[in-house]
Amino acid sequence: MPEPSLPAPVAALFPSAAERERLDGWLSGALLGALGRVRAGPVTPTLDMARFAEELAAMDFDAPRPLERLLEWTLERMEHGIVQMTNPRYFGLFNPGANFPSQCADRIASAFNPQLASSASSPVPVALESHLIRVVGRRAGFGAEATGHFATGGSEANYTALVCALTAAHPRFAQEGARAFPGPPAFYTSRECHIAWLKVAHQAGIGRGALRLIATDGTGRMDPQALAEAICADRAAGAVPIMLVATAGTTGAGMIDPLEACAEIARREALWYHVDAAWGGAAIASERLRGLLAGIERADSVTIDAHKWLATTMGCAMYVTVRGSILSQAFHASTSFMPSSFAGIDPYLNSVQWSRRFLGLRLFLSLGAAGWGGLGAHLERSVAVIAHVRERLTALGWTAANDSQLAVLDVLPPRPCDVRALVRRVVESGRAWVAPATFEGRDVVRICATHGETSQSDIEELLAALSAAAC
């Protein structure tokens, strides 16, 4: 029988081994060059976006282009077309200059492209991620029963928490949704929370109106008295309180809600207790800082994003819970086509996602290479950067508005002025990147240490940019 002749593989998609090696080498060198220039250049994008829109409009994808040219084109535009998180003068939102081990993890995950939905497809990655979640759970103070999974971001992990809370709150929620409750479900967090909670409420089908934004105490921390009163008022009005969310490291100011007091209220009121430690949860890595999270171990679940302060590539969030059976209840499904279906083990039966990338490898290689000590030192270094910025700005007449022991500083300029305009001037200068924020009702300049290699001269440049922009 003659061999059946198959069409050749599409070479543009699956080049020869030699061509891949050549392109890989070229790309590694080109990336190093681009990132070196980014480091020394402006933090803000400089690309003419009108011209870029024309370029895009002209691309009909009818004729293929050589990959090397496309890579050059892409690198060039990335070098000039984004806010540069790899620039050590980015003092911005919680987006890190990614650590190197996690970048290696991405290469490996991309090359093997394992499917982590099921333990039969990816026995090693699933076991590795599950071990890592237990290790992180132990480090946060949970018992051996802690379980969970990696998620694309803090928002997904927080959404998971709400679905678990609703599932635990009523045996018929799984079947009937919010209609199972005798009144409208409500949940509680502080007004300094990450406002994605509104989207989370919307997605979960209980409506944005279910979120109660509790007053803070004047220092950015949830006021337990106001919380208790809100729960009481809701019950009196026929609403059904289901979850309390404390934030450990608020987005705007790095403040930590009173975790013990919140745990006590959640216990008394029989609410699911979730700690949104998307950014601040990284503090478990540092012997010096982890005490700030005392009380987190009393939570039913926590969100910790490794892609924030632990500086892995995005997104590498974790949802950790001591109530694994609720997680399995909330996300179970049954099909004949999956290679395995073990409740409590297979990620597709215990999480929002089905197809799933090997996210946990990013944290595994970072933690493995640095150890808790190394990750802790990275955190402590950024706290030192912010302490130094604070000291210098205070000496220049600026006022600190928040009192975070983490790596976020909110400041007011020496003379009253439009803070948002001030921030715009800093950003437009390209010398440094800071954010505007509202803290306890006041507009502030938010400065956050997110880059692991920010140097003294980077701090000097930030200070100069702030001084030049102040009125």
Nearest distance, CB of residue 236 and ligand PLP, angstroms: 30
Nearer to ligand PLP, 194 or 451 (CB): 194
Answer for which of 89, 170, 194, 290 binds ligand PLP (CB under 6 A) is 194
Q: Which of 247, 313, 321, 353 binds ligand PLP (CB under 6 A)?
A: 247
The 3-state DSSP class for residue 105 equals helix
Residue 276 within binding range of ligand PLP, rule CB under 6 A: yes
Q: Which of residues 316-335 bind ligand PLP (CB under 6 A)?
A: 317
Query: Could you say which residues in the range 255-274 bind ligand PLP, by CB under 6 A?
Result: none
Closest by CA to 159, choosing from 93, 112, 205, 105, is: 205
Q: Which is nearer to ligand PLP, 122 or 152 (CB)?
A: 152
The DSSP output letter for 185 is E
What phi and psi values does residue 88 have, to the nearest 5 degrees? -70, 0
Contact 306, 99 (CB under 8 A): no
Q: Is 94 in the site for ligand PLP (CB under 6 A)?
A: yes
Q: Check binding of 251 to ligand PLP (CB under 6 A).
A: yes
Among all residues, whose Cβ is closest to ligand PLP?
Answer: 154
Binds ligand PLP (CB under 6 A): choice among 220, 315, 376, 413 = 315
Nearer to ligand PLP, 257 or 458 (CB): 257
CA distance 246 to 342: 32
CA separation (Å) from 91 to 42, 186, 214, 233, 430? 13, 36, 28, 41, 12
Question: DSSP labels for 195-255?
Answer: THHHHHHHHHTS-GGGEEEEPB-SSSSB-HHHHHHHHHHHHHTT-EEEEEEEEBS-TTT--
The Cα–Cα gap between 361 and 274 comes to: 25
Total residue length of the chain: 471
Nearer to ligand PLP, 248 or 465 (CB): 248
**Which H/E stretch holds residue 424?**
helix 419-429
Determine, following the binding rule CB under 6 A, whether residue 312 of this chain makes contact with ligand PLP: no
Bridge partner residues of 212 (DSSP)? 188
Alpha helices in 113-223 (DSSP H): 123-139, 154-169, 173-176, 196-204
Of 248 and 285, the one with the shorter C-beta distance to ligand PLP is 248
What's the alpha-carbon Rg for the chain, to the nearest Å? 24
- Please select the residue that binds ligand PLP; options are 169, 196, 318, 352, rule is CB under 6 A: 196
- Closer Cβ to ligand PLP, 276 or 458, answer by number: 276
Q: Which is nearer to ligand PLP, 278 or 310 (CB)?
A: 278
State the nearest-atom distance from the C-beta of 249 to ligand PLP, in Å.
6
Q: Which of residues 128-157 bind ligand PLP (CB under 6 A)?
A: 153-155
Site membership for ligand PLP, residue 279 (CB under 6 A):
yes
Site of tokens 């279910």: 210
Q: Which of 305, 346, 440, 458 binds ligand PLP (CB under 6 A)?
A: 305
- Are 71 and 28 spatial neighbours (Cβ–Cβ below 8 Å)? no
Nearer to ligand PLP, 118 or 189 (CB): 189
String of DSSP letters for 192-203? TS-THHHHHHHH
Cis before 315? omega within 30: yes
With CB under 6 A as the contact rule, which of the stretches 33-41, 160-168, 276-284, 327-335 interacts with ligand PLP?
A: 276-284
Task: Identify which of residues 125 and 154 has a Cβ nearer to ligand PLP in the complex.
Answer: 154
Q: Under the rule (CB under 6 A), what is the footprint of ligand PLP?
A: 94, 153-155, 158, 194, 196, 247, 251, 276, 278-279, 305, 315, 317
